[in-house]
Amino acid sequence: MIERNEVSDVPEITVDIEKVAYGALGIARHEGQTIFVPGAIPGDRVVISIESDKGRYAHAKLISYAVKSPLTQKPSCAYESCGGCQWQHASYREQLSWKGSFVADAFERIGKIPLPIGYKVLPSPTELNYRNRVLLRGTVHKDGSVGVGFFKKATKEQVHIDRCMIARPILNRVIEQISRLNISVKPQKFRMELQEFEALSEQTAQVSVVVHPVLKHDLSLEKLVEKLGAFHEVIWSGLSTELKNPPFIPLETYQGLSYFSAPGQFFQVNLAHNRQLREFVQQEVTKDEQANKILDLFCGSGNLSLGLAAAGKTVFGVEANPIAIKAANYAVTYNRIENCTYKTGDALKYLSKSCKKQEQFDVVLVDPPRAGMKEGMSFLRAMTPKKIIYVSCDPNTLARDLRELKDDYHLESVTSFDFFPHTYHVETAAVLQLKS
């Protein structure tokens, strides 16, 4: 059905959403064209206007709902316009099934490898209050009040909040206090990163706050940093320029091991689910008693391999970020682990050199950023480790990279971990065994 919008004269169409694609894009078909509608879910009948028409497909804007999907649930979040999550309004069970379909689709379409039988998406231990790190957008207003929040859906406009339903409770206690602040500094925008340390414990948890001014060397927000530092929950607060020599703080202690990080550093945000991923990796590696020499590429602060070294394996880790490597080595010393070396370097350069030197590893663990490691796959293949465990936060680049291993490796299992409920993101671990 096509109608003219009385105000803007942009044609409006009513369509039925049949499926959902990666990116939380509802898919509708209209007169032979595939139309992507952000945020819409299967079962929705929506009124849309086309924003960009590419011929066979088009991107549209959701104007209103004619009928809401039976899969709709009442969001636990009060900020309807917030763009932080895409699926607060969708049933969690369905979210898991959609994420599974993204992975299956990527393997079939891009990887040209069918998903092994037994593929599953493991739900997050908690649907809400799971994030131990949040990046907020903030404003100091003319009257000195401070607002923090996220961007509005599909805009660069800020929505200010005083709680985020997916953030850990201690981060919300800090956010609530920020929204009551009043400071005498020039009005401006900024970014702010909150991180929970000694996490998942109500008794010991503490927060670090990093304030990123728009202009890197602008010191005018020092007053804000000072006020934040006085909060009972805050263990460290500073401007982003102070991150060159950050303090190393225990992020968590799990199964007798302390994991370290520093303010402003990457660490998995869903710690409870991350523990399940670590256990999964540990089980996969220790299945083969002969597997002793482990290479951990893109090792961060040693999240996935410290436990392997503590279990007696010889671990070598490579990571580009020197601060993450400092945190990893801090943990090695603190936990008195001996058979573990973490080095700063480019993972792909390391792979290529290691191949030339014909170095051998029993298991290679890779956990690259979203872009994957296309350029490194031929070296990884040539290295012929018995087992490869590829952990990825993007099913499309994962499937693309695994395609390179198809002839030499058997895809033993694929498991997804729902690290990010209420968003379309999904973490996936693929286990590959060298063909004999």
Shortest distance, CB of residue 246 to ligand SAM, whole angstroms? 15
Give the H or E element holding residue 180.
none
Q: Which of 82, 113, 175, 299 binds ligand SAM (CB under 6 A)?
A: 299
Comparing C-alpha atoms, which of 307, 297, 292 is closest to residue 369?
Answer: 297
As given in the structure block, the two tokens for residue 98 are 């959609």
| Dihedral angle sign, alpha carbons of residues 136, 141, 143, 144 | positive
Residues 131-170 touching ligand SAM, rule: CB under 6 A, are none
Nearest to ligand SAM by Cβ — which residue? 300
Q: Are 48 and 25 in contact (CB under 8 A)?
A: no
Q: Are the beta carbons of 272 and 407 closer than 8 angstroms?
A: no
Select from 119, 231, 266, 334 the one that contacts ligand SAM (CB under 6 A): 266
Residue with tokens 């997050």: 124
What residue has token string 């792979």?
Answer: 351
Nearest in space to 301 (alpha carbons), one of 248, 255, 380, 354: 248
Using CA atoms, how far apart are residues 67 and 382, in angstroms rounded to an integer? 54
Is residue 282 within the footprint of ligand SAM (CB under 6 A)? no
Q: Is 304 in the site for ligand SAM (CB under 6 A)?
A: yes
CB of 302 to ligand SAM, least distance (A): 8
Site membership for ligand SAM, residue 319 (CB under 6 A): yes
3 state DSSP class of 175: helix
Nearer to ligand SAM (CB atom), residue 42 or residue 368: 368
β-sheet with 409-417: strand ranges across? 120-122, 409-417, 427-434, 387-392, 363-366, 293-297, 314-319, 340-344
Cα(345)–Cα(436) distance, integer angstroms: 32
Nearest distance from C-beta of residue 265 to ligand SAM, angstroms: 8
Q: Which of residues 323-362 bind ligand SAM (CB under 6 A)?
A: 324, 346-348
> Measured from the CB of residue 296, what is the shortest distance to ligand SAM in angstroms?
7
Distance CA 95, CA 421 (A): 8
Q: Binder to ligand SAM among 206, 270, 303, 413 (CB under 6 A)?
A: 303
Residue 77 appears among annotated catalytic residues? no
- For residue 406, the number of C-alpha atoms closer than 13 Å in the C-beta half-sphere is 14
Segment interacting with ligand SAM, rule: CB under 6 A, options 23-31, 253-261, 319-327, 352-360? 319-327
Q: How far is the CB of 107 from ligand SAM (least distance, A)?
A: 20
Taking CB under 6 A as the criterion, the residue among 187, 247, 322, 369 binding ligand SAM is 369
Binders of ligand SAM in range 99-138 (CB under 6 A): none
Q: Of 63, 320, 382, 434, which one interacts with ligand SAM (CB under 6 A)?
A: 320
> Contact with ligand SAM (CB under 6 A): which of 130, 190, 259, 298?
298
Helix (H, G, I), strand (E, B), or coil: what is residue 131? strand
Stretch that binds ligand SAM, among 125-133, 186-194, 241-249, 313-321 (CB under 6 A): 313-321
How far apart are alpha carbons 241 and 283 in whole angstroms? 41
Q: Where on the chain is the footprint of ligand SAM (CB under 6 A)?
A: 266-268, 298-300, 303-304, 318-321, 324, 346-348, 367-369
**Could you list the active site residues?**
393
